[in-house]
Amino acid sequence: MPEAPALNKKNKLKKISKEMFSWNRENICDGLVVYKSDDVEMGAILVSIPKKIIGSSVKRNHLRRVVKEIYRKSIDGPFNRHFLVKFNANLVGYEKVLENYFKNV
């Protein structure tokens, strides 16, 4: 069975740094914040979900995969920005909001 296309390694950020929190901050909805950087050569994404918000690692990893898939499907060409998606609350129905955000960036 063929695998679904995934994000390239170049499109994934590995670690959170202090400088990321100085990027442009946008509150997408209650409990969901997106930080975006200035222009860079190749855009990438990092999803942060605190253990306090969702205790189960299985659920956190599933949520990360869903957000990365939304990002992958929503971009038409190469983005020239890095994104940090941070969850501050356990959300329901965040998919459409994120999809619209990434399509309109």
**Measured between alpha carbons, how far is residue 90 from residues 9, 55, 59, 61 in Å?**
27, 10, 11, 14
| Domain at 9-103, CATH from 3.30.230.10, 3.40.50.720, 1.10.760.10, 1.20.1600.10 | 3.30.230.10
* pLDDT greater than 60 at residue 2: no
- C-alpha atoms less than 13 angstroms from C-alpha of 78 in its C-beta half-sphere: 9
Give the number of other CB atoms < 10 A from CB of residue 104.
7
In the chain, domain spans: 9-103
pLDDT of residue 1: 43
How far is 96 from 86, CA to CA, in rounded Å? 16
* pLDDT greater than 80 at residue 63: yes
Confidence of residue 97 (pLDDT cuts 50, 70, 90): confident
